[in-house]
Chain A
Amino acid sequence: MLPEEINKFIGQSIGTIACEVEKGSIKRFADAVGETNTLYWDEGHAAKSRYGSIIAPPGFFGWPVKLPPGMTFQRPTDITDPPEATEAMRAALAKAGYANVLDGGIEYEFFLPVHAGDVLSAKSIIKDIREREGKTGKMAFIIIETAYHNKKDELVAKARATAIYL
């Protein structure tokens, strides 16, 4: 059972990261997916399109990439608020017997296209923590919301990721 104190993490920030959307990283991402839309790497095509320049496939917000806590295998070096809440929450989960984490899924809302050359700020908060009895035992669902803003402080996208602790 998760202790009652786990709820203190709900609403806490787990950091803000500056994500650079580089042309080359968009191309590598699109290639890894197997995208065929040349809008993601062909400047000539992109210039003639309604976007005017290269955009990223929806779901790519530049580098470093935000992942749910426990799944951040590359440590962003430019995180602006220390991720103490993440560490403390992970410690509390480990103490309650949760050793493994799986990516449960994601919801996105897209407001503006992401262009090559953008620098986005990704600010994440712990939105919810719930424990449930599953077929194979208890599971904890951690919901992380991330808001992506561009340099003009316009909201580009919102993401709601679910991390499942087992």
Chain B
Amino acid sequence: MAKQLYWENVEVGGEVTPLSKVATTLMLVKWAGASGDFNPLHYDAAFAAAIGVGSPIVHGALKRQWLVQLVTDWMGEQGTLKKFACSYRAMDWPRKMATPMTPEEGETWQCKGKVTKKYTEGDQKLVDCDIWIENGKGEVTTPGTATVILPSKG
């Protein structure tokens, strides 16, 4: 478990501890079952091709939860996620599986963030961040924002 982040230790322009992810076809099947999104676009190659996206794409909502994990891991257990937003601007394609447990070589995604504002509202100590996911080429496919309440050393 990451150590606790305190409001006093955050600076505007500071980095949110990055989180790296590898999307695989296996992961998409697990996500479909866990999230209830059974759109064949995410697991049926012929269907995805017919829709015009080439092959099955990563669920937007899975990328959303990666970004939620990015922020909640960074803020620590005493932090509270107050607001969160993201948009699915570009598609991502998962790595295929080489063995039942290991994916083929390929793309790795980086979830990143930067502090944009530090302020108080009533007795709440708040921090706003820009957050985003970069694909293997370093292109942002999923930008977003988050507001967290942090504990104070105060």
What is A's interface to B at a CB cutoff of 8 Å?
Answer: 25, 28-29, 31-39, 49-50, 57-59, 63-65, 67, 71, 73-74, 100, 102-110, 162
Contacts and interface: CB of A to CB of B under 8 A. Distances in A.
B34 A67 contact: no
B88 A74 contact: no
Interface in B90-123: none
Interface residues of B, number: 36
A108 B39 contact: no
A23 B86 CA distance: 27
A32 B36 contact: no
B87 to A, nearest CB: 3
Contacts of B78: 50
B27 interface: yes
A103 B72 CA distance: 23
Interface of B: 1, 21, 27, 30-31, 33-39, 51, 59-62, 64-66, 68-69, 72-73, 77-78, 80-88, 144
Q: Is the interface of A mostly helix, strand, loop or mixed?
A: mixed
Contacts of A105: 60, 85-88, 144
Given A32-B62, A63-B36, A109-B82, 7 more contacts: A29-B34, A32-B27, A32-B35, A33-B62, A104-B87, A105-B60, A162-B87
